[in-house]
Structure 1
Amino acid sequence: MDILKTIESYAWSAPDQAAIISDGDVLTYRNLDTYSTALAHWIASNCENHKVPIIVYGHKEALMLVCFLACVKAGHAYCPIDISVPAQRVQKIAETVNPPLILCPGTNPGSTPEEIFQTVSPVILNQDKIQSIITGKSDVNTASSSMEAFYDHKDKELFPVTGNDTFYIIFTSGSTGTPKGVQISAECLSNFLDWSAGLGYPSQEKTGAVFLNQAPFSFDLSVMDLYTCLACGGTLWTLNKETQSDYKWLLDSLRKSHAQIWVSTPSFADMCLADPYFCGELMPDLRLFLFCGETLTNHTARQLLERFPKGKIINTYGPTESTVALTEVTITKELLDNEPVLPVGRVKLGSLIEIWDEQGHPVPEGTNGEIVLLGNTISTGYYQLPEQTQKSFFQCERDGQTIRGYLTGDCGYLKGGMLYYQGRIDLQIKLHGYRIELEDIEQNIQKLADVKNVVVTPNIQEGKVKSLTAHLVYEGLIENRLKTAKKLKEEMKQFLPDYMIPKKIHFLEQIPMTVNGKADRKRLGGETT
Structure 2
Amino acid sequence: MSRFLETFEKRAARCPERRAFFNSRGGEGSSITFGELSALSDNLAAALAEKAPAGKPVVVYGHKSPLMLVSFLAAVKAGLTYAPVDIAYPADRVSDILAQLDRPLVLSLADGPFVGDAALAGEVWDEAEVRAACAVASEADRSRWIADETPFYLLFTSGSTGRPKGVQMPSRCVDAFMDYFSRLFPSREDGVSFNRVPYTFDVSLFDIIGALPFGYTLFSLESEHEQSMRDTFEALRESGMTAWISTPSFAEMCLADPSFNAQLLPRLDAIILCGEVLRNATALKLLDRFPDATLYNTYGPTETQAVTDIVVDCALATDVNPLPVGYLTSSGGARILDLETGEELGAGQVGEICLFGDTVSAGYYGRPDLTEAAFSVVEEGTGLGQRCYKTGDKGYLDEQGRLFCLGRLDFQVKLNGFRVELADVEQALVRLPEVGEAVVLPVERDGKVSHLAAHVRLADGGEGDRETTRALKAALKQLVPEYMVPKKFVYHDEFALNVNGKIDRKALA
Q: Of the candidates 376, 394, 410, which is equivalent to residue 411 of structure 1?
A: 394
| Structure 1 contact 212–238 (Cα < 8 Å) conserved | yes
User: Hey, what does 1:10 align to over in structure 2?
Assistant: 11
1:72-471 map, 5 Å: 72-108=76-112, 112-113=113-114, 115-136=115-136, 158-173=143-158, 177-199=162-184, 201=186, 205-322=187-304, 324-357=305-338, 358-398=340-380, 399-415=382-398, 416-427=400-411, 460=426, 462=430, 466=439
Matched position secondary structure for 2:201: coil
| Aligned-partner Cα distance in 2 for 1:129–1:256 | 33
1:86–1:381: structure 2 CA closer, same or farther, 3 Å change rule? same
Deviation at 1:174, TM superposition (A): 6.5
1:499–1:270: structure 2 CA closer, same or farther, 3 Å change rule? closer
Deviation at 1:121, TM superposition (A): 3.2
| Structure 1 contact 467–503 (Cα < 8 Å) conserved | no
Q: What per-residue deviation string (whole Å, max 9, x for no partner) do you get for residues 12-37 of structure 1?
A: 11110111012321111110010001
Deviation at 1:231, TM superposition (A): 2.3
| Aligned-partner Cα distance in 2 for 1:253–1:355 | 43
1:295–1:174: structure 2 CA closer, same or farther, 3 Å change rule? closer
| Aligned-partner Cα distance in 1 for 2:64–2:220 | 7
Deviation at 1:245, TM superposition (A): 2.5
| Aligned-partner Cα distance in 2 for 1:98–1:233 | 37
Number of residue-to-residue matches in the alignment: 433
Deviation at 1:423, TM superposition (A): 1.4
C-alpha RMSD over aligned residues: 2.6
| Aligned-partner Cα distance in 1 for 2:348–2:17 | 51
Q: What per-residue deviation string (whole Å, max 9, x for no partner) do you get for residues 101-135 of structure 1?
A: 10112223xxx22x523350321111111111112
1:85–1:176: structure 2 CA closer, same or farther, 3 Å change rule? closer
Q: Which amino acid counterpart does residue 329 of structure 2 have in structure 1?
A: K
| Aligned-partner Cα distance in 1 for 2:142–2:441 | 51
Deviates more, 1:183-192 or 1:125-134: 125-134
| Aligned-partner Cα distance in 1 for 2:270–2:141 | 43
Q: Which amino acid counterpart does residue 135 of structure 1 have in structure 2?
A: A
Deviation at 1:294, TM superposition (A): 0.3
| Aligned-partner Cα distance in 1 for 2:297–2:229 | 25
| Aligned-partner Cα distance in 2 for 1:208–1:470 | 50
Deviates more, 1:173-182 or 1:306-315: 173-182
Q: Which amino acid counterpart does residue 88 of structure 1 have in structure 2?
A: D
Matched position secondary structure for 2:252: helix
1:157–1:175: structure 2 CA closer, same or farther, 3 Å change rule? closer
Q: Of the candidates 30, 33, 45, which is equivalent to residue 35 of structure 2?
A: 30
Deviation at 1:227, TM superposition (A): 1.8
| Aligned-partner Cα distance in 2 for 1:130–1:384 | 28
| Structure 1 contact 367–413 (Cα < 8 Å) conserved | yes
Q: Which amino acid counterpart does residue 46 of structure 1 have in structure 2?
A: K
| Structure 1 contact 395–403 (Cα < 8 Å) conserved | yes
| Structure 1 position 64 matched with structure 2 position 68 | yes
1:19–1:174: structure 2 CA closer, same or farther, 3 Å change rule? closer
Q: What per-residue deviation string (whole Å, max 9, x for no partner) do you get for residues 34-82 of structure 1?
A: 0001000001011251x21111000111110000011111111011011
Matched position secondary structure for 2:396: strand
Q: Which amino acid counterpart does residue 183 of structure 1 have in structure 2?
A: Q
- Percent identity between the two aligned chains: 36
1:76–1:275: structure 2 CA closer, same or farther, 3 Å change rule? same
Q: What per-residue deviation string (whole Å, max 9, x for no partner) do you get for residues 335-365 of structure 1?
A: 1121121110101221011111132211111
Matched position secondary structure for 2:144: coil
| Structure 2 contact 194–241 (Cα < 8 Å) conserved | yes
Q: What per-residue deviation string (whole Å, max 9, x for no partner) do you get for residues 195-250 of structure 1?
A: 1101264xxx2333000112101100000122212122110001132222321110
Deviates more, 1:457-466 or 1:211-220: 457-466
Q: What per-residue deviation string (whole Å, max 9, x for no partner) do you get for residues 318-351 of structure 1?
A: 00001x2000110011111211211101012210
| Structure 1 contact 468–503 (Cα < 8 Å) conserved | no
| Structure 1 contact 73–159 (Cα < 8 Å) conserved | yes
1:271–1:68: structure 2 CA closer, same or farther, 3 Å change rule? same
| Aligned-partner Cα distance in 1 for 2:283–2:291 | 12
Q: What 5-or-longer segments of structure 2 have no aligned partner? A: 414-421, 432-436, 448-499
Q: Which amino acid counterpart does residue 354 of structure 1 have in structure 2?
A: R
User: Hey, what does 1:146 align to over in structure 2?
Assistant: none
User: Hey, what does 2:468 align to over in structure 1?
Assistant: none
Q: Which amino acid counterpart does residue 340 of structure 1 have in structure 2?
A: N
User: Hey, what does 2:487 align to over in structure 1?
Assistant: none
Q: Which amino acid counterpart does residue 292 of structure 1 have in structure 2?
A: C
Q: What per-residue deviation string (whole Å, max 9, x for no partner) do you get for residues 438-478 of structure 1?
A: xxxxxxxxxxxxxxxxxxx999453977486775889xxxx
Matched position secondary structure for 1:84: coil
TM-score by length of 1: 0.77
Matched position secondary structure for 1:426: helix
| Aligned-partner Cα distance in 1 for 2:104–2:183 | 37
| Structure 1 contact 469–502 (Cα < 8 Å) conserved | no
Deviation at 1:394, TM superposition (A): 0.7
| Aligned-partner Cα distance in 1 for 2:161–2:288 | 44
Q: What 5-or-longer segments of structure 1 have no aligned partner? A: 137-150, 430-456, 475-495, 506-529
